[in-house]
C-alpha cells in the first residue's frame, strides 16, 4: 500500500465483498471529487469492468504503478534537502511529501 499511496496520494479504497467470491473495489480521493470502481467476478471475466469519474483518473494511476512492475517499499528513496523539502524518488520520478 505504501507504493500505491505515493503514486496516488490522498486516495482511499474500500472493497465490498458480495459473499460469492465476487467483490467491488471502490477508489476515491479525500476531496470526493474523483472515484473509480472495479467489479470482479471469479471465473466470469478475464478483465475487470472499471468505471471512473472526476478530474483524477485514479484507476489509470494504479495501472501506471502496475506497468512499472509493482515496485515495493524497498524500491523507493526518501530525500530531504537543506530547506527541509522532502521528496520520494522511484527511478526518474519523484513526488513531494
| Cα–Cα dist 58/29, whole Å | 8
pLDDT of residue 6: 77
Which among 11, 6, 17, 9 has a CA at the least distance from the CA of 70?
A: 6
Q: Where are the domains of the chain?
A: 2-70
Average pLDDT value for residue range 76-89? 92
Interacting residues of 44 by C-beta distance below 8 A, sequence separation 6+: none
pLDDT of residue 62: 82
User: How many helices and strands (H and E) does the chain possess?
Assistant: 2, 7
pTM above 0.75, yes or no: no
Residue-wise pLDDT for 33-62, tens only, equals 999 999 888 887 667 789 999 998 999 888
Instruction: Name the average pLDDT for the chain.
Output: 86
Average pLDDT value for residue range 61-79? 85
Which among 52, 54, 19 has a CA at the least distance from the CA of 36?
A: 52
Query: Are residues 90 and 76 in contact, defined by beta-carbon separation less than 8 angstroms?
Result: yes
Residue-wise pLDDT for 3-14, tens only, equals 777 777 788 889
In sequence order, what are the beta bridge partners of 40?
23
Which among 94, 96, 97 has a CA at the least distance from the CA of 76?
A: 94
Give the end-to-end CA distance of the chain in Å, rounded to a whole number. 16
pLDDT at 81 > cutoff 90: yes
Amino acid at each position: 500500500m505504501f507504493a500505491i499511496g505515493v503514486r496516488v496520494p490522498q486516495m482511499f479504497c474500500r472493497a465490498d465483498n458480495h459473499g460469492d467470491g465476487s467483490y467491488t473495489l471502490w477508489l476515491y480521493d479525500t476531496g470526493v471529487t474523483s472515484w473509480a470502481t472495479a467489479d470482479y467476478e471469479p471465473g466470469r471475466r478475464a478483465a475487470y469492468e472499471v468505471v471512473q469519474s472526476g478530474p483524477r483518473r485514479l484507476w489509470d494511476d494504479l495501472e501506471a504503478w502496475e506497468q512499472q512492475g509493482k515496485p515495493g517499499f524497498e524500491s523507493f528513496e526518501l530525500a530531504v534537502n537543506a530547506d527541509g523539502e522532502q521528496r520520494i524518488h522511484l527511478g526518474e520520478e519523484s513526488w513531494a511529501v
